[in-house]
Homo-oligomer: A and B are copies of this chain.
Amino acid sequence: MSRVRVHNFSISLDGFATGEGLGLDAPFGHAGGRLHEWMFATRTGNEDLFGRQGGTTGVDDAFTAQWFPRIGAEIMGRGKFGPQTGPWTDLGTDAEWRGWWGENPPFHTPVFVLTHHPRPSLEMEGGTVFHFVDASPERALELAREAAGGLDVRIGGGPTTVREFLAAGLIDHLHLVLVPIVLGRGTRLWDGLEGLEADYAVEAVSSPSGVTHLTLTRRG
């Protein structure tokens, strides 16, 4: 059965998944790369996501690699696609923005970008096609499921998008990575999700790297 999954979603001890001050030079704001250093150090992170060589092959690598298999489509918030806000045409060259990932993004599937300002789809190399849709979580998931052809749908972030899908009861598998830093400000994952654990089996496993992997798997 097709499942809805979140992977490698990193949060600080105080629950922030991005910092403050997002921009072209700072996709995660003042958090910099600190939330994802654990992933950049893995072999999967290096070789499959960044085209570099080498890396660790322990538990962090095993979780990182779960991002890939059986995914037929991704849904992401506009804030993950790019740092712009508002209508694309108001922002000079922003209408030419094609994402952070170059001409051959790592998705290789349809990707539905949630935005109140739709624009024409972008067909990239390697099978990634960005579709821009103004839709509720439920409707976006319908579109993604159709496009996924029976495979799973990944919810790619950022925190506002993941939180909305959790609040709507649409997530089957949530992999969080607790990073031992205190960000202090930014966007929190947890707001408005009181009692979330009731619907999930929760596992925790700490890694020698210092992060802790939490998996929430929806019950029956």
Contact = CB atoms under 8 A, between A and B. Distances in A.
Interface of A: 13-15, 178, 180-185, 188, 190-197, 202-207, 210-212, 214
Nearest to A206: B204
Contacts of A207: 204
A180 B193 contact: no
A130 to B, nearest CB: 32
Contact of A196 (B182, B192, B193, B196): B182
A180 B194 contact: no
Nearest to A186: B194
8 contacts: A14-B191, A178-B212, A181-B195, A184-B193, A185-B194, A204-B207, A206-B212, A212-B212
Nearest to A190: B14
A183 B210 CA distance: 25
Given A13-B190, A14-B15, A15-B15, A197 B182 contact: yes
A180 B195 contact: no
B194 A190 contact: no
Contacts of A190: 13-15, 182, 184
Contacts of A204: 178, 180, 206-207, 210-212
Given A190-B14, A196-B182, A210 B202 contact: yes
